[in-house]
Structures are given as C-alpha cells and as structure tokens.
Amino acid sequence: MSLVIFVLLRLAPGNMVDILFSTGGYVSESDKAAIEKELGIDRPIWVQYVDWLRDMATGKLGKSYRYDLPAWELIKPLIPVTVELAVLSTIIAILLGVPTGVISAVRQDTSLDYVLRVFSLAGLSMPSFWLGMVIILALVAWIGWIPPITYVSPAENFKIHLVQFLLPALAVGYRSSALITRITRSALLEVMREDYIRTAWAKGQSGRIVIWRHALKNAMLPVITVIGIEFAFLIGGLVVTETVFNLPGVARFLVQAILWRDYPIVQNIVMFIAIVVVLSNLLVDLLYGWFDPRVRYG
Amino acid sequence: MADKRSTVTGDAIELTLPVGLGLPRVGFGTTIWRFCRRKPLGAAGGLLTLALVVTAVLANFLATQDPIATDAVHTLARPSPQFWLGTDHLGRDIYSRIVHGARVSLIVGVLSTLLGSVLGGLIGLLSGYFGGRIDLISQRVMDILQGLPLLVLALVMSASLGPSIQNVILAISIPIIPRAGRVIRSSVLSIREMQYIEAARGLGIGHLRIAFRHVLPNTIGPFIVLTTAQLGSAILVEAALSFLGVGVPEPYPSWGRMLSVSAAEYAQKAPWLVLFPGIAISLAVFGSNLLGDALRDTLDPRLRGG
C-alpha cells in the first residue's frame, strides 16, 4: 500500500521546488540545489522511500515542504471537521436511504416505486459538488441566506456551525442514500419471499411488524455491506464538497497539498484515508455478528 | 452500437428453446422494441445516451458560437436568442461550450472505461482461469487499489501525471481496473468448471487458447453490464477532477471545469453559469445509469437489483 502511494506520487513531473520557483520568480541554480538538499528531494527515489517507511515506523510522519511544520500537526486539527461531516452524511444517507428502500420494496412496481427509484438514481447521477452549489444558490436566491465565508466552530456559534455542516452533509448524503435505497429494496424483496415471512403474515401479524422487524432485520446484511463500501466513496465525495463549502477538512487539504506537490502531506492524508477505509470495513464485519447471530468469529 | 447488439445475445439466450422448436429468429429491430417495452426506464436511458453521442459527434453543427472564443462585450450575458444559455465571465457561449463539452466527457468517459475494463478484464480472466499464485498476487494488488476511494486515487494519479487528456483518461481508468477484475474473475471462476472447457482440454487445446477463445466470449454479458455502469461514474470523476483543476486542461471545454472556481465566484450574478453544465453532467450520467440498470436486469439476472 505504502509503496503504491509513494510511487504514484513521485511520477509527478516537476517538484515542490520548481513550483516555488515558478511562483517566486527567478532564483539562482545554487539556491535551488540548496533547497532541494534541505528537503531531501535531491536523493534517489528509493532512498526517499526507505526513509519514509522508517520514519513512519518510528512515528515521525515527515514535515510539510511548504509550511516546514510536522505533517501530523497540520493534519490533526483538520480531522474533526472531516469526521463530523462524514458521520453526518452517513446518518443522512441511512435515514434517507433505508425508508425509501423499504417503501419501494413494499410497493413494488407501483408508480410510487418508480418515482422513488428514479429519485435515487438521480442522486447517483448528480455530482455532489454541483448539488452543493445549487443548494447554496437556491438558499441565497430564496431566503437571502449568505453562506459563511469562514469556518465557524461549534463553540462560537452552534447554529451557524450546524447549518454549515448540514448542507454539505445533505449533498453528500443524498448521493450515498441512493445506493442504500437500491440495496435495501432488492434485499428486502428477496427476504419477503421467504417462508417465515409468509408464516408471519399467516398468523395475522400486522404489516408494520412483519416488514420492519422480521423482514428488514434479515435484509440488513447487504445493506450494511454497502454502507461500508459507500463510506469509502463518501470520503471521495468529501474531497469536492469540502472545497465547494470551504470547510477546512482533511479532504480539502489533500487537494491543496496535491496542487503544491507537498508529498509528505499527500502521503500522510492518503494513508490516513486508507486506514479509515480499512477500519470501516472491519467495523462492518463486526456489525454482521450483531445483526445476524449466525455469523460468528473465532 | 455495442450495447444494443448485446441485447441480441441477451434475448438469444432466452430464446434458445423456441429457436430449437423451429420458431423464426427475432431480428435486431424486434429485440430493441421488446427491450423498450419491457424496460421503459432503460429505453429512456438509452435515448439519453444516444443523445449524448449524437451531440458529441455533431458538436460542430449544433454549436451556435465558437466555444473557445472570448467576447469582452458580452460577458455574463443572460440567456438570449443569441446566447441560448448565456455567457460566462469571459463572454464564451455556455450552450456551445456544453455541446463541445459533451465530446470531451464522452471521449474521456468511454476511453477510460474501456481501458480500465479491458485491463481489469484481462487480469481477471488470467487470474481466474489459472488461479494459484497469479490469482493470489493480483487479488492482493486489486485489494490495495480498491482500498482507496475512486476519486482520491484518480486525483492523486492525475496530479502526478500532469494535466493532459491522455493522463486524465489513464488516471480514471486505474480505479476501474480492480472493479472490472473482480467481476470478470468471478464469472470466469464458474465458466472454468463447465464441461465444455473440460472437453476442450480433452481435445488437447492449450490453456491460453481456451482462456481467450472459449472462456472470454462468455464473459461478454457481465462485461457490458460493467462498462455501462462504469461509464456514468467515469464521467462523474472526470467532472470532479476538472472541477478541482487537475482534469482536462484548457482550452478544451469541460463540464467539470465550467463549474470550477470562476463559476462559483459569479454564481450569484449569473446562476446559468452553474446550472446548465451541472444539468448536462447529471443527464449524461443519469442516462448511462438507467441504461446500465436495465441491461443488467436483462443480461445478468444474478445481479438483479443490486
């Protein structure tokens, strides 16, 4: 994993020093060599890689080329923003996706089902950054709301903070909810054909209990899998959404660091994202056991 | 068009029995007509995709203005008979840029999807057919590639390779490789165990020849489903990359770049700058998603609804 990330990054034509120089005007060749030496990017690439691996193992995560600060110190304060956004988006996606999926399955092949399916497919088709822009535009046009230019922490003003996060979470969550809707629908349709559901109907159990308690519980496994997979997509979606809504999160910083060729930052953020994805997959595996006692580990 | 011909194979499978009973073979037009009646949403998707292709091909005729020419007099003009969808901050005609942008989106989308699926399909075919160590190694590499969000991977790739259309295509195709590999491998695994493969082995046919001549053609169904489904997300990723400034470079008009920072700045004064390119992206992706869904239902009943 680390090797892949490293190699991909070093393929880049032009390094940090070139970019600094092109923005700063003319600087002599010897100055350029001196800066390259100081940053350690004059050495062979494999030496840089071994260095980076050793640093990671010993907890040193490298210094930002641009800010001359340890990468971790720059990234750490940004994590809560991204995590909050990711969690909020996931909650919105589940709240929006599961019920629509259930309704769509129960009313299979009615016009309501068709409307909901088109609605969810539309969510998959709209770029979340565009949706975000349109939401802002609409709010400005209709209620004269002006988007806060800078990030407001919850301690400063909780209401503004909430609005600031809810809108991008809505834009990202809508997209994620689409997949959840589709999986919920198909999983539920399959479970509803099982014998025990027919038994539940036959003994006169009310429709709500049959669907929500008997059927949905067993239909949840594939849904959880998708939520886990979707989490990785969601982080990808945050990259653009944080940029649109100007939120100082990890994802926006990644874009900036890429444009600056600030490798230590990019490497660390990409590693961080990979770790988050692996952890979310682990969490999904553990949730299986909770939803379906037949699944046992160890 | 490849996807339409595929429905022929799809229906041909269903119709093996009637054909054997001496009923007439159904023609190409009939197959399409049946598909449209059974899957109205899919047909709508096919129509949207067709519209995208036609727009891309006929961009030169459909455009009313030069998509690149700037016009200092008519900056941020409202939609009017002269500028159907208004102009941007440099006075470029939005409508003409969208029409030409269809070309960029389609080329990048189709080529990156094809490149990714063909590479991934080959890896999936070989690793599924031969199994063993090849399978193990290639699957681990796929795991790694798949561990990263599609957009993040494409973003890093495209930034590393530098801005050009070829590099954008390459960057978008790489995250598609593991997805294609998975799909093709799983269908190869089941085909490999079939009796006619055993028979081919018995006839002394070489492994590579069996893999390419006898196994590969039977993965065409999942392959078509996969590529149609990926086309939409490839177009979306291209838009996102261009939006972030690491995608298709100037002067090519790209839908994503039309939405980027400059558009956001003028959005209050000229909402058409933001609205129309986004609608274009959504419709294109929506169309290929609808079509992909319907094709999957028709060609690959095992994956239905998933």
Task: Please report, for chain B, the start and end positions of each structural domain, with discontinuous segments joined by +.
Answer: 58-299
Interface of B with A in 197-256 (CB under 8 A): 232, 236, 239-240, 243-246, 256
Judgement on whether residues A116 and A178 belong to the same structural domain of the protein: yes
pLDDT band at A253 (very low <50, low <70, confident <90, very high): confident
Judgement on whether residues A88 and A202 belong to the same structural domain of the protein: yes
pLDDT in tens, B21-55: 445 566 777 777 777 777 777 888 888 888 888 88
Task: Kindly state whether residue A109 falls inside one of the protein's structural domains.
Answer: yes
Q: What is the ipTM of this complex?
A: 0.74
> What residues of chain A lie within 8 A of the CB of B289, using their CB?
121, 124-125
Judgement on whether residues A45 and A192 belong to the same structural domain of the protein: no
pLDDT in tens, A56-98: 666 666 667 677 777 777 888 888 888 888 889 989 999 998 8
Judgement on whether residues A219 and A98 belong to the same structural domain of the protein: yes
**Which pLDDT score, from 0 to 100, does residue A127 have?**
85
**How is residue B118 written in tokens?**
């063909």
Task: Kindly state whether residue A215 falls inside one of the protein's structural domains.
Answer: yes
Interface of A with B in 75-134 (CB under 8 A): 114, 117-118, 121-122, 124-127, 129-131, 133-134
Place of tokens 């239909």: A219
Q: What pTM was estimated for this model as a whole?
A: 0.78
Judgement on whether residues A229 and A99 belong to the same structural domain of the protein: yes
Share of chain B above pLDDT 90, in %: 6
- Of A43, A54, A47, A46, whose CA–CA distance to A15 is shortest? A43
- Average pLDDT of chain A, as a whole number: 76
With a CB cutoff of 8 Å and minimum separation 6, the contacts of A68 are none
Judgement on whether residues A239 and A159 belong to the same structural domain of the protein: yes
As a whole number of angstroms, the distance between CA A31 and CA B50 comes to: 57
The answer to whether B11 and B34 are in contact (CB under 8 A) is yes
Over residues B198-226, mean pLDDT: 86
Judgement on whether residues A83 and A71 belong to the same structural domain of the protein: no
For the segment(s) B58-299, the CATH number from 3.40.190.10, 3.40.30.10, 1.10.1740.10, 1.10.3720.10 is: 1.10.3720.10
CB proximity B134 to A under 8 Å? no
**Which pLDDT score, from 0 to 100, does residue B117 have?**
92
Q: CATH number, domain at A84?
A: 1.10.3720.10
What 3-state class would DSSP assign to B93?
A: strand
Measured in degrees and rounded to the nearest 5, phi and psi for residue B91 equal 80, 15
Q: What is the largest CA-CA distance in chain B?
A: 77
**Which pLDDT score, from 0 to 100, does residue B262 have?**
64
Place of tokens 């939006």: B243
pLDDT in tens, B243-252: 888 878 877 8
**Which pLDDT score, from 0 to 100, does residue B109 have?**
92
**How is residue B244 written in tokens?**
């972030």
Using a CB cutoff of 8 Å and minimum separation of 24, what contacts does B277-280 make? B277/A130, B277/B94, B277/B97, B277/B98, B277/B101, B278/A126, B278/A127, B278/A130, B278/A131, B278/A133, B278/A134, B280/B98, B280/B101, B280/B102, B280/B255
CA distances to A9, A19, A254, B44, B112 from A13, in Å: 10, 11, 18, 44, 22
Number of domains in chain A: 2
As a whole number of angstroms, the distance between CA A12 and CA B12 comes to: 49
Judgement on whether residues A19 and A149 belong to the same structural domain of the protein: no
Judgement on whether residues A23 and A104 belong to the same structural domain of the protein: no
Contact B148 A237 (CB under 8 A): no
Contact B148 A277 (CB under 8 A): yes
As a whole number of angstroms, the distance between CA B264 and CA A244 comes to: 8
Measured in degrees and rounded to the nearest 5, phi and psi for residue A149 equal -75, -35
Of B160, B271, B277, the CB nearest to A137: B271
Measured in degrees and rounded to the nearest 5, phi and psi for residue B70 equal -90, 155
| Helix and strand numbers, DSSP H then E, in chain B | 15, 0
Over residues A221-240, mean pLDDT: 78
Interface of B with A in 56-85 (CB under 8 A): none
| Residue A9: domain span | 2-75
As a whole number of angstroms, the distance between CA B41 and CA B288 comes to: 11
Judgement on whether residues A229 and A107 belong to the same structural domain of the protein: yes
